[in-house]
Structure 1
Amino acid sequence: MTAFTVDLADAHDPLVLAVDVGSTASRGGLYDARGLPVAGLRHKVRHAFTTATDGTSVIDPRQVLAEVSEILQAVARPYLAGRIAGVALDTFASSLVGVDSGGDPLTPCFTYADSRCAPQVAELRAELDEAEVQQRTGCRLHTSYLPARLRWLRATRPEVVARVARWLSLGELLTLHLAGTTGVGTSTAAWTGLLDRLGGHWDPQMLAVAGVAPHTLSPVHHPDQPLPGATSRLPALDGAAWFAVVADGYAATVGTGGRTGGGLVASFATSGAVRAQVPAAVPRTPPGLWAYRVDGATALLGGALNDVGRAASWLTDTLRLDGGLDELLVPDPEPGTPLVLPFLSGERSTGWAAGARAVLADVSAASTPQALARGVLEGVALTYGRVVAQLREVTEPREVLASGRASQALPHLLQLVADVTGLPVTPVTIKRSTLHGTALLALDTLAPGVERATPTTGPTLDPVAGRADYYAERAAAFEELYAAVVA
């Protein structure tokens, strides 16, 4: 065994085949009973959402089905027959596909980023007490969730809706076609905005608001409940248990180590999030956060950010800087840096203003491209700080565990987050932490007595005391600008 991987000859059975369908690719790999990825047994297929200026953000579900089929064939090789005990799947959350009675898609897969249902969000906010809905479901009224999206479909595509026999998440569609059965994982159900967060069942009022009948939705399965009657045509998967799809945010939290200790888990990818695992019965959700039920006893409390790696990519493409972005974050902060609300693609936590756009303030003729870039990335760190501030109303965090591509590409962004939040930040350096978490959830059932390997980490970044006043002032100015322009 070297680093965080294991050769097949040294892998401990049972093995789990995990699949992660993300925003930019589908990937899969084999994990042993300790949660270690098996060297050489992984596969990745890139993809992209189809987007448009009207808010469209979709992907062809048949394309993703072909991708995952390719991954299974590449990883589940015939000589592994009898060793693979389970297949586990996560996808990006809040996806939706309408299917006919045979399970064939009638719609594209609508993603969490599709904002065409913004008018329906406004309708729902006029009809319902949003604060009460959030406390009951754990979700705000927003374009990311399904009540508004289903209303929009009824209003704009009634002829398609009339033909839909079932509404599935993307992961449910995949297991239906690949394993002959399906069910929705508790976390995936929670990310819809249609689940009662305390009872763990579909919420009657929100189903009525969305215009869907309970029988058109799948049964809710906790992650320790394999799908009944699952089968596969691949010999290496004969007899393997299949698990209901889980949300990628839950898998990332587990894979980063967020089930132990008193830490928060922060994801730094195209988008971002900060999450804490809490008891499912936590009585109150702070107004800017969500509380997603994930199993029989626990929930994830946290908030999501639309623009993290996306903000970095925009800076690189737009400003054409000499040198990298990360080196701009090394020096101490300087007064006069532009103040930026970094909402390039709308806001989720904490204000949930889907139509928000980026705002650059305090820009003068002396502002350099480097200063603008520093201002944008400080703004990203401040948005993480806003989520952490509300998490402190319910939790007592001691540190932040950080993972994701952007945390590795911009390591000094983690120092900014430490300085903004006043919490030490520890980078978790394993690759594919989301895939790792998906495998661990299946192993909880398949290999409960096996000690799991501890993910590798980098040096912890402690807050720099001399920067606290600067970032406190920036946070106050951020809120003032937000109140004037967005709220």
Structure 2
Amino acid sequence: MSTDASYEVHPTQAEPPFVLAIDVGSSSVRALLFDRFARSIQSCHARQSVTFETQTDGAAVINADLLLEVTWNCIDEVLSKANSLVKDIVGVGNCTLVSNILGLDKMGSAITPIFTYADTRGMDDVAILRNQMDENETHQRTGCILHPSYLPVRFHWIRRVHPELWERVSHWMTIGEYMLFKLFGETAVSYSVASWSGMLNRHKLVWDDQFFNLLSIPSGALSKLVDLDVKWCGLRKPFTDRWPGLVNTPWFPAVGDGAAVNVGSGCLDRQCLAITMGTSTAIRVLLDDVPKIPQGLWCYRLDQNASLLGGALSEGGNVLEWLNHIFQMKETTEFESELTKMLPGEHGLTFLPLLAGERSPGWIGSARGIIAGLSLATEARDIYHAGLEALACRIGLVYERVISAIPHDAKVVVSGGVLLHSPLLRQILSDVLGAPISTFPFSEPSSRGISMLVLRSLGIVPDLGTFPCKIDDVVHPDPENHKRYQEIIRRQTELYQQMILEDRT
């Protein structure tokens, strides 16, 4: 699917002022230049890959200084390509992978790697903390459950396993905060990014004193909380020499990447639900308030005025990459065209795609994938088809919980490379949900969202609804297939329950 022309503009047609948007993701760092209408300026972009350092014990970390150097290199490249447009850059914003943390010593040097959301060490600490508090009350207060992705469990694990390191750390911060610290010598964290930590009281918008007391976290160990309109100006050396055109340009605090996707794809209120699938998957909706969070979901923030309700699945494009690797599928386009002729579940398989553990809705980090029903007649395409259906069915479980809090006729908008490039998966997903789905055709919704937020913070536009958002390629569900997928979900749920029972015994 090609990008709609309304989201991109030739440099000679771009309307100033411009915004530099930086997206520090789990697989790459991207930097793009946008004009006042939140259109990406063609050729003014850069991308560099990043990878987690993983180990068999569940570690998934990144070197903080190497990640920042990749980010600086992307900025270098965009500014070089922008040439004379640099003078009209009026703001810099960024979004980052969230639920990450690193520790600095008293000298301001990073003495830990970045512990990412994918680091599953700390599963034992979940059980310990559950015995010390009411998890349901904690969930409603912070928006997060007890899980290794979040800071309460991460901090408990570090204190327990690495007590000397815990004592050496003077300040804990996310990669977005570390970026500001390097650039300006001071830092803060947005309500948005803080809400992904599990340490923010979502009602009072302050750090949660119950966890501070329980975990003996020193006062000042976490950054000051700010909203998205707070800005920093006046770069420090050596950045004044590296980017002279940005010396006095305002920089804004990082926003959670998921919140930025909703903004960039035009899902700004309860009437529009966003589903994104990259390496993993997320289902999100922006709401003014969430009095009670449905079981299995989380509730983060965009800013002090808007909450982000939804769920995240560890499974997504990673499952399809695994299948492609196992079966050496170099080209799936022709493969998928054959599968469109098959009925749901015709392969006879039940696929539980928890290859990377589980987040929403059950949050069993130790869960693993299962394929049941294999026979000598099973072919690679059957397993691939079952994998596509399994992913959609897992999304369906979370979708049902999300729509319990919003109008049932809310529009569903999908984005992300996996869904953009698979018409078959989009049709399967529509059939599973029993709802039409529309496709957001621009491949960088999070970066677009950043540009929109910066333009709002600068007062260049009055609100986020100012920006046009064209959605196309509507897929409609097949009612008969929807019924068939309810049976597949039932079988998948039974298999899941069997897995839990065996794991506990």
**Normalised-by-shorter TM-score class:** over 0.9
**Aligned-residue CA RMSD (Å):** 2.0
User: Is 1:29 matched up with 2:32?
Assistant: yes
Q: 1:330 aligns with which of 319, 325, 340?
A: 340
Q: Which residue of 2 aligns with 1:270?
A: 279
* Residues 220, 329 of structure 1: alpha-carbon distance in 2 compared, 3 angstrom cutoff: farther
Inter-partner Cα distance in structure 1 for 2:401 and 2:65:
40
Q: 1:396 aligns with which of 407, 430, 453?
A: 407
> Identity of counterpart residues, as a percentage?
33
Inter-partner Cα distance in structure 2 for 1:476 and 1:133:
30
Q: Which residue of 1 aligns with 2:311?
A: 303
Q: 1:483 aligns with which of 486, 492, 497?
A: 497
Inter-partner Cα distance in structure 2 for 1:485 and 1:149:
26
Q: Residue type matched to 1:330 in 2? A: T
Q: Which residue of 2 aligns with 1:105?
A: 110
Q: Which residue of 2 aligns with 1:462?
A: 476
Inter-partner Cα distance in structure 2 for 1:250 and 1:194:
18
Distance apart, 1:274 and its partner CA: 0.3
Q: Which residue of 2 aligns with 1:291?
A: 299
Deviations 1:71-123 (A, max 9, x none): 22222356345411111011101111101223210100111000111111121
SS in 1 for 2:46: strand
Inter-partner Cα distance in structure 1 for 2:273 and 2:40:
24
Deviating more after overlay: 162-171 vs 201-210: 201-210
Q: Which residue of 2 aligns with 1:217?
A: 222
TM-score, structure 2 normalization? 0.92
Distance apart, 1:2 and its partner CA: 4.5
Deviating more after overlay: 2-11 vs 16-25: 2-11
User: Is 1:249 matched up with 2:258?
Assistant: yes
Distance apart, 1:214 and its partner CA: 3.8
Structure 1 gaps of 5+ residues are: none
Q: Which residue of 1 aligns with 2:420?
A: 408
SS in 2 for 1:242: coil
Deviating more after overlay: 76-85 vs 267-276: 76-85
* Residues 463, 44 of structure 1: alpha-carbon distance in 2 compared, 3 angstrom cutoff: same
Deviating more after overlay: 53-62 vs 475-484: 475-484
Structure 2 gaps of 5+ residues are: none
Q: 2:376 aligns with which of 340, 361, 365?
A: 365
Q: Residue type matched to 2:260 in 1? A: A
SS in 2 for 1:27: strand
What does residue range 104-123 of structure 1 map to in structure 2 within 5 Å? 104-123=109-128
Q: Residue type matched to 2:440 in 1? A: V
Q: Number of residue pairs matched?
A: 486
What does residue range 440-455 of structure 1 map to in structure 2 within 5 Å? 440-446=452-458, 447-449=460-462, 452-455=466-469
Distance apart, 1:366 and its partner CA: 2.4
Q: Residue type matched to 1:428 in 2? A: F
SS in 2 for 1:348: coil
CA contact (8 A) 1:181 1:230 kept: no
Q: Which residue of 2 aligns with 1:348?
A: 359
CA contact (8 A) 1:81 1:235 kept: no
SS in 1 for 2:292: coil
Q: Which residue of 1 aligns with 2:77?
A: 74
Q: Residue type matched to 1:459 in 2? A: D
TM-score, structure 1 normalization? 0.95
Q: 1:7 aligns with which of 6, 10, 15?
A: 10
Distance apart, 1:44 and its partner CA: 1.2
User: Is 1:237 matched up with 2:246?
Assistant: yes
Q: Which residue of 2 aligns with 1:18?
A: 21
* Residues 194, 474 of structure 1: alpha-carbon distance in 2 compared, 3 angstrom cutoff: same
* Residues 229, 125 of structure 1: alpha-carbon distance in 2 compared, 3 angstrom cutoff: farther
Inter-partner Cα distance in structure 1 for 2:296 and 2:253:
29
SS in 2 for 1:355: coil
Deviating more after overlay: 3-12 vs 468-477: 3-12
* Residues 228, 166 of structure 1: alpha-carbon distance in 2 compared, 3 angstrom cutoff: farther
SS in 2 for 1:241: coil
* Residues 230, 423 of structure 1: alpha-carbon distance in 2 compared, 3 angstrom cutoff: farther
SS in 2 for 1:23: coil
